[in-house]
């Protein structure tokens, strides 16, 4: 009995370790205390209250930062924030201290938190000022005063992308800053205030991070190395790849015109962005055993302009798994705007995120896809004229067991 009990605990521990693997989001804040964080610079105070981190100004203090003990390079960060209307704040990413000491000046990229229309743009804190160029900083009203605002940040090599409340604010490429700040801590700023002002507060909650350091790019932005196709796939600016069917190329059954990986993949997390024209139609294929018969020998996540779709979504609407299940929520961006799909396929378990929301969570062996291969090619569909679709930031993490 003792041997069996010990074996059970070992097995449970192993399963817990697998479930806690960092291919998904992990909590940066446990909701109870500030374990894993440390304060750098300034005299503002940080406390935990009602599951939130609350930063409070102190009279005459310079900028203060509550920083992660861990350092991060390529990652995805989501959180919610609420700030007093008279206080400016921000979240440091890939940041460091001058001299490498805890009391050295915090410096590095900062994603702005403010009510002046600049929220979500990227500032170089003690590192040269605005990183987002003046001409790209257009005032907006996405940040809601007195409300919880959801931030979404993706840092990948020299590119930093930000969204506020589901709308993209910034897509910044800054090679110079990436060279000096390729990795660093994440810091929650309480901005300094003048004497005899305040006190003011800023609150953060639901801080989650997905480590992207184990992902690799599938498209190098220059050529189609690692891919095969007879279709008209064109390299464009800003990391984009365009499928532009040639004159007379119509319909979706021209399978060799799809963009196919040369390698097969079994368990993975696939991350891709795409933009369709009005009515645009395409698809993300995976675990395709035979590239000449992907419909019956693979799995397709639908790419379709479903912006104006009302009511429940079917398997052929945007984000649905064709022939299986529809998305739980319509997360379609309008035409010509970038959508981001993350497909996690581990064993028979399939999950799909679309624009920051999980829309599919299903077991493939319990439905119409139960006979599909557990390993296969990845592909992107050429649906024929007039479906000109842009793809970018195609990356993957293979999950080994």
> Residue 192 maps to which CATH number?
2.60.120.560
pLDDT > 90? residue 238: no
Q: Report the percent of the chain where pLDDT is more than 70.
A: 95
Of 184, 211, 238, the domain-final residue: 211
Q: Choose among 353, 69, 393, 381: nearest CA to 215.
A: 393
> What pLDDT, on the 0 to 100 scale, is given for residue 22?
59
Q: Is residue 13 part of a domain?
A: no
Tally of domains in the chain: 2
> What pLDDT, on the 0 to 100 scale, is given for residue 130?
97
pLDDT > 70? residue 186: yes
User: How far is it, in rounded angstroms, from Cα 119 to Cα 88?
Assistant: 10
**212 contacts 156 by C-beta, under 8 angstroms:** yes
Q: Which domain holds residue 111?
A: 21-211
**Which pLDDT band holds residue 6 (cuts at 50, 70, 90)?**
very low
> What pLDDT, on the 0 to 100 scale, is given for residue 103?
82
Q: Is residue 4 part of a domain?
A: no
Task: Give pLDDT tens digits for 60-70.
Answer: 888 999 999 99
User: How far is it, in rounded angstroms, from Cα 286 to Cα 239?
Assistant: 22
User: What 3-state class would DSSP assign to 281?
Assistant: strand
User: How far is it, in rounded angstroms, from Cα 105 to Cα 360?
Assistant: 44
Q: Is residue 181 part of a domain?
A: yes
- Residue 33 to residues 42, 47, 365, Cα–Cα distance (Å): 20, 8, 41
Indicate whether 300 and 160 sit together in one domain: no
Residue 334 is classified by DSSP as P
**Which pLDDT band holds residue 193 (cuts at 50, 70, 90)?**
confident
Indicate whether 182 and 233 sit together in one domain: no
Indicate whether 357 and 230 sit together in one domain: yes
Indicate whether 73 and 206 sit together in one domain: yes
Q: Is residue 174 part of a domain?
A: yes
Q: Is residue 235 part of a domain?
A: yes
Indicate whether 338 and 249 sit together in one domain: yes
Token pair for residue 225?
């190395």
Within 8 A by CB and 6+ apart from 324, the residues are 315, 362, 364, 367, 368, 369
**63 contacts 309 by C-beta, under 8 angstroms:** no
Task: Give pLDDT tens digits for 303-349.
Answer: 999 999 999 999 999 999 999 999 999 999 999 999 999 999 999 99
Of 211, 237, 266, the domain-final residue: 211
CA pseudo-torsion sign 123, 126, 127, 128: positive
Q: Choose among 381, 119, 386: nearest CA to 246.
A: 386
């Amino acid at each position: 009995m003792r041997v069996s009990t010990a074996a059970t605990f070992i097995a449970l521990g192993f399963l817990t370790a697998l479930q806690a693997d960092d291919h998904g989001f992990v909590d940066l804040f446990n909701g109870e205390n500030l374990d894993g964080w440390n304060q750098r610079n300034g005299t503002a105070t940080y406390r935990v209250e009602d599951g939130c981190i609350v930063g409070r100004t102190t009279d005459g203090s310079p900028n203060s930062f509550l920083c992660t003990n861990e350092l991060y390079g390529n990652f995805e960060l989501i959180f919610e924030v609420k700030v007093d209307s008279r206080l400016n704040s921000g979240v440091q990413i890939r940041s460091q201290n001058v001299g490498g000491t805890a009391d050295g000046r915090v410096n590095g990229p900062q994603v702005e938190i403010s009510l002046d229309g600049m929220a979500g743009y990227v500032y170089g804190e003690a590192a040269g000022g605005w990183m987002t160029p003046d001409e790209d900083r257009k005032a907006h009203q996405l940040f809601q005063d007195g409300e919880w605002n959801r931030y979404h940040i993706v840092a990948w090599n020299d590119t930093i992308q930000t969204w506020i409340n589901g709308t993209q604010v910034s897509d910044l490429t800054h090679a110079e800053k990436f060279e000096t700040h390729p990795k660093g801590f994440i810091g929650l700023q309480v901005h300094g205030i003048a004497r005899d002002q305040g006190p003011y507060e800023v609150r953060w909650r639901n801080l989650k991070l997905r480590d992207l350091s184990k992902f690799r790019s599938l498209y190098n932005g220059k050529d189609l190395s690692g891919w095969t196709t007879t279709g008209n796939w064109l390299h464009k600016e800003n990391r984009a790849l365009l499928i532009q069917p040639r004159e007379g190329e119509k319909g979706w059954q021209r399978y060799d015109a799809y963009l196919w990986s040369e390698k097969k993949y079994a368990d993975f997390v696939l991350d891709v962005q795409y933009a369709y024209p009005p009515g645009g139609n395409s698809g993300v294929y995976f675990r395709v055993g035979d590239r000449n018969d992907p419909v019956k020998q693979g799995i397709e996540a639908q790419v379709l302009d479903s912006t104006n779709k009302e009511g429940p979504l079917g398997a052929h609407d945007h984000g649905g798994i064709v022939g299986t299940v529809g998305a739980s929520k319509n997360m379609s961006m309008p035409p010509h705007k970038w959508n981001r799909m993350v497909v996690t396929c581990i064993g028979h378990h399939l999950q799909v995120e679309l624009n920051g929301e999980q829309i599919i969570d299903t077991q493939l062996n319990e439905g119409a896809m139960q006979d599909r291969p557990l390993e296969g090619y990845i592909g992107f569909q050429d649906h024929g004229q007039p479906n000109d679709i842009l793809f970018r930031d195609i990356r993957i993490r293979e999950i080994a067991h």
